[in-house]
Amino acid sequence: MRIVPLFLFFSLYLYAETPRLFLLKNYKDDLNVTDWVMSEKLDGVRAFWDGTKLISRGGKLFTPPASFTRGFPPFALDGELWSKRGDFEHIVSIVNTKDPNRGWGELTYNVFEVPKQKGNLFERLHVLEAYLGTHLAERIRVVKQTKIEERQELKRYFDEVVQGGGEGVVVRDPYQGYYTGRKSSALKYKPFSDDECRLVSIIEGKGKFSGEMGAIACEYKGRLIRIGSGFTDEQRAYPPKIGSLISFKYYGLSRLGNPKYPVFLR
């Protein structure tokens, strides 16, 4: 396979320090999650509010209009920029524009964590709820956390979300203090598994993709995997940069531990 030569281009995006966030592990059916909480996993763009500005998971500064963040609190929030189910590509096109007036009115900021606050999840979210009781922030929504009384409740809720076009469900132990990184107390429950890898090379396309990206090679847990599907025409013409962190979905593991049928997500 031939590797497309790496080319340089100038980015107009501004960057801040990459935020340290809590991340999700994959849910497994044999786990006992009674007394945990569940919420819909919104298929939007994650954003960290540091008290003055919105920052992407990778450290890029978003440029919403002042009206969008009017009334936001002076303390940190973690949530999802979102519009509706099945609208991910449109959401990305809005938040990636440099024009603050383009489409932001369609989005809300759906908060599922209040970082750096004391107490359990309920107490941390209450800090925001108390603030919103005395301040008007029209674009903020607090993601509802529903207690799981029995395992079947989670399965029914999952089926309802997925059949309605949702991405899946987040399951969390609400009694954990705030932390960053991955722990088994915050899980994603989806119809497929997903993970991340680091892009190391671009593979040139053939046939209909001649002259464009055909696939990417990524480093995943010490091995190289190839991802060739899930890309838009624009992404094939303008591939992600070498070194980018790539999210992909897959359907089980091979006997060698490689993801089966990996598909690019974002």
pLDDT one-digit tens code per residue, 177-212: 999 998 999 999 988 788 899 999 998 888 888 888
Residue 2: the pLDDT is 36
Catalytic residue among 25, 41, 60, 144: 41
Write the burial class of residue 200 (CB in 10 Å: 0-12 exposed, 13-18 middle, 19+ buried).
middle
Distances (CA, A) of 153 to 29, 83, 159: 13, 26, 10
39/113 Cα distance (integer angstroms): 12
Residue 102: the pLDDT is 79
pLDDT one-digit tens code per residue, 92-131: 899 988 877 779 999 999 999 999 999 999 999 999 999 9
Residue 65: the pLDDT is 95
Supply φ then ψ for residue 160, to 5 degrees.
Answer: -65, -45
Residue 13: the pLDDT is 56
Strand order across the beta sheet in which 181-189 lies: 22-26, 181-189, 169-172, 37-40, 146-147
Ranges of residues in the chain with a pLDDT under 50 are: 1-12
Q: Could you tell me the pTM of the whole model? A: 0.73
Is there a contact between 19 and 57 (Cβ–Cβ < 8 Å)? yes
Question: Does 206 participate in catalysis according to the annotation?
Answer: no
Residue 12: the pLDDT is 46
CA 205 to chain centre: 28
